[in-house]
Structure formats: C-alpha cells, structure tokens
Amino acid sequence: MNIKNIIFTIALACLSLFQQQTLMAAQKPDHSIKIKSFSKKVPDALDENSGLIYWRGLLWSHNDSGGKAEIYGFNPKKGHIEITIEIENSLNTDWEDIAQDERYIYIAETGNNRGTRTDLQVLRFEKQIISFDAKQKINVEKICFKYADQSDFTDRNLNNEHDCEAIIAHNDTIYLFSKDWVNQTTKVYALPNTPANHVIEAVDSFNVDGLITGADLSDDGKLALVGYKDFEPFICLFQPNAHGWFLKPERYSLPKLMFAQTEGICFAAQNQLLFSCEMTSQFKQQIWKAK
C-alpha cells in the first residue's frame, strides 16, 4: 500500500474526529485565498458543466440533467473541444460529477434533487478504450446502488438528505459525498466500483455548513470539496501531514464569486486546484485557479 492509500484510508477512518473542528472552522472567519480566472473559454457546449477532471492534458466535463449523454475533453487554454465521447447505452438523467482512478473514468448519475430516485448509478469505462479521435462512441458499465439509510422516497424537492453531486474514486471504491439540503452537512458513502446492485452505507459524515457540489483527491492525498451556501461559493481543503492524518480542514469562502454556481473541482498539472461554474445570469461558464 503506497503512502496515498495509507493517508486516505486513515483519513476516512477518522473523519468523525473532525466533525467538531469542521463546525468551528465554518464559524470562524474564512481563510484567505487567491483566485484568478484560469479559462473564460469553456466551450458553449458546456454551459451547464457539472464535473471536472484533468487527464491527458485536457480538462474533461459534462452537462447535468437534460444534457446530452456525452463527455467532452477540452483544451484548458484555448477552450475548444478536442474529444467528444458519446455514451450509447445510457441517458443523462442527472449527471453530476466525473472522477477517475488509474484504470477507469466514472460518471455520477446521482443527481436526486427531489429525493425520489430509485435508479441511481455510477457509470464507468476503461481509459484504454479511449482514442484520440475527435468523435467517439462507447458503452459503459453500470454500478447501481441505493442508500441503506433511505426508506422514504416522498417528493421533497431541494429538501432531502439523499442528493449527491460529488464523487471520488480510490482503489476499488467510489466515495460519494451527499448534498444534504436539510442539514447542510455531507455524508460519505462507500460504493464498490464493480458493476452490480449495491446497498451502500455511510462511512462517515462531517459538517461543511453548506451544499457540496464537487470533490477531488490529489496524488499526495489532499481532499478538496467545492460547494456553496446562500449562493456564496466555498472550498473545503483537507491537508494530510507526515503522519498520515488530516489536519483541521480549511474552509475558503469566495465572496467575489457571489452567485457563481460552482459545480466541479479537480487537481491538475503541478497540483493546481481548479474549479468551475456553469453559466448563470451573473457568470459565464468558466474555470478558476485557486492558490
């Protein structure tokens, strides 16, 4: 087991130790953070981009509910789409995030604003089947699941605990971070990455004082979450130390981006932390770099 695996395994096992610390961090003044526009050239086809990864020198994203069942690899500097991958055996009911590990790319078909869905899935495909052709069509494998702690499927639009817009992949497990409209916290669910029907348990929860919309894990074990509260975006960053324990999470408020609908986050080249927003009346779809 490499150091990244050790760090992440220990961190998940002890997140509960930081619940009170996270609450305190949320109540204290936010840490300072420098941001600048990384790219205002996010393609128009991604006006409702909802997830973000960095792979093969491109940024990869997709649209959320009602969008085409496609993911796009686009040049982060020039902003044009270089590769379009059409998923032939799946619709885009509500794709909310994208994640990767060494072998697979995963698409989170997990959007559940009303709390009524019984067809939740994570889609996966192998990286090796993707060529450099501009247009490609593939089939995906489907990892189906339901939440062990959900028995009530009453329609509660934007008022339920079982929405999810953020996932990461690590080893043989996909971790889902809930978007809890009721408590403004997030539960962490562990989902095996094998195609089957799974019932998943929450392995931990912590107070983020907001709604989580994206997540990523860096090569050296940093966990980044992006979200918003009262229309003000924020980033939560968990730093591992030399002993393999996460330090107290840091919360960065982004008041200059008020009303930006932040959706995706990823670590890119040179460990840059990038995050994106979809198009709104206040902001064009674009990507920022956080320092």
Lowest mean pLDDT among 70-84, 195-209, 235-249: 235-249
pLDDT at 55: 97
pLDDT at 207: 86
225 and 235 Cβ atoms separated by less than 8 Å = yes
pLDDT(29) > 80? no
Q: How many residues does the chain have?
A: 291
Q: Which residue type, as a one-letter code, is found at position 219?
A: D
Pairing of strands 197-200, 141-147: parallel
- Return the closest-CA partner of residue 186 out of 219, 228, 125: 228
Domains defined for the chain, CATH in brackets? 3-290 (2.120.10)
pLDDT at 14: 44
**More confident site: 168 or 19:** 168
103 and 125 Cβ atoms separated by less than 8 Å = no
Phi-psi category of residue 273: left, alpha or beta, with phi > 0 → left and psi -120 to 50 → alpha: beta
- In 3-state terms, what secondary structure has residue 214? strand
pLDDT at 206: 82
pLDDT digits (tens, 9 = 90+) for 125-172: 999 999 999 999 999 999 999 999 999 999 999 999 999 999 999 989
Mean pLDDT across 81-87: 97
pLDDT at 25: 40
Mean pLDDT of the chain: 87
286 and 274 Cβ atoms separated by less than 8 Å = no
pLDDT(71) > 90? yes
Tokens of 189: 């669910």
pLDDT at 18: 41
Residue for token pair 């490609």:
136
Backbone angles phi, psi at 8, to 5 degrees: -70, -40
Mean pLDDT across 32-56: 86
pLDDT at 204: 81
pLDDT at 239: 77
173 and 105 Cβ atoms separated by less than 8 Å = no
